[in-house]
Amino acid sequence: MKQFMDDNFLLETETARRLYHEHAAKMPIIDYHCHINPQEIAEDKRYDSITDVWLGGDHYKWRAMRCNGVQEADITGAKDTDPYRTFEKWAETLPRAIGNPLYHWTYLELKKYFGITEPLNGKSAKAIYDKCNARLKDADMSVRGIIDQSNVKLICTTDDPVDSLEWHKKIKADPTCKVKVLPAFRPDKAFNIHKPEYASYMAKLAEVSGVEIKCFADVVKALYNRIDFFNEMGCRASDHALDYAVYADATEEELDAIVAKALAGGAISTEELNKYKTACLLAVAKKYTEYGWVMQIHFGCIRDNNTAWYKKLGPDTGFDAVSNTHGADDLGKLMDAMAMKNELPKMVLYSLNQYDNETIMTLAGAFQVDGQCASQIQMGSAWWFNDTKTGMEKQLTDFANLGVLGNFIGMLTDSRSFLSYTRHEYFRRILCNWIGNLVENGEYHADMETLGQLVEDISYNNTVKFFGFDV
């Protein structure tokens, strides 16, 4: 029997072990999409307890605890007032989560940052809790210390167009901060014209941009103003969360009427929403192309399904699901409209429904631009519910089957926790094992020089080149 999570964890072959230890393990990390708070980096935050850093905003763990019958009072209700109780409930849940990537992530994090390898369960919870909390007092366990330990060179946060980016400014001006932190442009609130808060958000956008918003052209002008500002702050990417990929033609007059209706508090139909979102996506894509930004699009998610708990806890609290209504056909129409005007930026496409992989990859192959960039249109890493061993293996297989895997930009954390950088290690081990199995099965030349370069590129180099990061 193999030892649990030893140095060769997930590495089944000699080729896999060589690729990981000699190549993947040494590469730095670029975390080009995450949800961490830049203020915590600027202030070099320290954590009072393992619950705070580990369970405070992790709706993946919250969801698992709910599935294990844990009361909400012991999850989100206790995490700030009685942190040990929440930790204990996670410890009791973990042994039952066999096969769930949370099991692997938990032990990777415990081992790397806390030196803990023994099983976490209800009996060991208190001892491990105390040991983790003692370790958090060490100098290298501040936010920046964790980042340094993880060999992270650059982080892209997720930022609203109305954000002043004050914390990014402070980080940039701080010579003691080793990691580069860049904003990423996330204009979802400006696109969600059907939401009741749209009018009040537009008022904020008008104020920060200096553009009075009365019609669709004003919306575009205001967004362009903020894109200019983000670009000055070093931004190299945008991100868009769509329930489904969308495409619907509209005239300027129709768009003006839709904006006026929403600003007056009127109800927006699905047809009107689709027309408005399409126009917004086409408009910002033009600007992204000018600046050489990467446009990321996430779709295929049904968000906030449990209305009662959404009202109590808000968004991103563990009540989302995979969608089967995702409009992948319209994605091609959207990309074609951009390409017809030579306004198709570099793109990374993520679907929460893994059965869209083939659609995404074949569409990507249809829109590569005459040698402009290697794999200009990419399928993103296995996202969210697909961020599993089998999900990553399927994503790698689908990418390889229908594209050029050597150009893949690799992993991201998509996380709110600074301990989640081990997800890059998890991905790299799976990547090396996947490649190693092909080689040792006689399906690929055992050319270790080429293979090593391939692994290093997917782990790090491709990301730097694709986004144009200065690291």
User: Distance between CA atoms of 391 and 410, rounded to whole angstroms?
Assistant: 14
Count other Cβ atoms within 10 Å, centred on residue 127: 12
Percent of all residues in the chain with a pLDDT value above 90, rounded to a whole number: 97
pLDDT digits (tens, 9 = 90+) for 283-310: 999 999 999 999 999 999 999 999 999 9
pLDDT at residue number 329: 82
pLDDT band (50, 70, 90) for residue 328: confident
Alpha-carbon distance of 450 to 251, in angstroms, equals: 52
Q: Which two tokens stand for residue 182?
A: 């860049």
Measured distance CA(169)–CA(69) in Å, rounded: 44
Predicted model pTM:
0.96
Structure letter (DSSP) for residue 375: T
Q: What are phi and psi of 153, to 5 degrees?
A: -95, -30
Could you give the CA distance from residue 15 to residue 31 in angstroms, rounded to a whole number?
27
Find the mean pLDDT for residues 112-129.
98
pLDDT digits (tens, 9 = 90+) for 22-36: 999 999 999 999 999
| pLDDT over threshold 70, residue 372 | yes
Which residues, 6+ apart, have CB-to-CB distance to 170 below 8 Å?
42
**CB 326 within 8 Å of CB 245:** yes
Residue 327's pLDDT band (boundaries 50, 70, 90)?
confident
pLDDT digits (tens, 9 = 90+) for 388-404: 999 999 999 999 999 99
The pLDDT of residue 12 is 98
For 162-187, how does the pLDDT look when each residue is reduced to its tens digit (9 = 90+)? Answer: 999 999 999 999 999 999 999 999 99
**How many residues are present in the chain?**
471
Is the pLDDT score of 370 beyond 80?
A: no
- The answer to whether residue 369 scores a pLDDT higher than 90 is no
pLDDT at 64 over 80: yes
The CATH superfamily of 48-139 is: uronate isomerase, domain 2, chain A (1.10.2020.10)
Q: What residue ranges do the domains of the chain occupy?
A: 48-139, 143-467
For residue 371, the model assigns a pLDDT of 67
Mean per-residue pLDDT of the chain = 96
Say if residue 249 is exposed, middle or buried (CB neighbours under 10 Å; 0-12, 13-18, 19+). exposed
Helix (H, G, I), strand (E, B) or coil at 242: coil
The closest of 211, 202, 153, 203 to 182, measured between CA atoms, is 153
CA 118 to chain centre: 30
Cα(64)–Cα(70) distance, integer angstroms: 9
Tens of pLDDT along 200-227? 999 999 999 999 999 999 999 999 999 9
- Averaged pLDDT for residues 246-272: 97
In CATH terms, the fold of domain 143-467 is: TIM Barrel (3.20.20)
**Closest-CA residue to 182 (of 38, 292, 290, 294):** 38
Q: What is the DSSP letter of 292?
A: T
pLDDT (0 to 100) of residue 235? 98
Half-sphere exposure of 129 (CA within 13 A, CB side): 22
The two structure tokens encoding residue 388: 């599993």
User: Phi and psi dihedrals of 293, rounded to 5?
Assistant: -75, 160
Tell me, what's the pLDDT at 326? Answer: 67
Distance CA 329, CA 381 (A): 21
**pLDDT for residue 350:** 96
Element at 412 (helix H, strand E) = none
pLDDT tens track for 417-446: 999 999 999 999 999 999 999 999 999 999
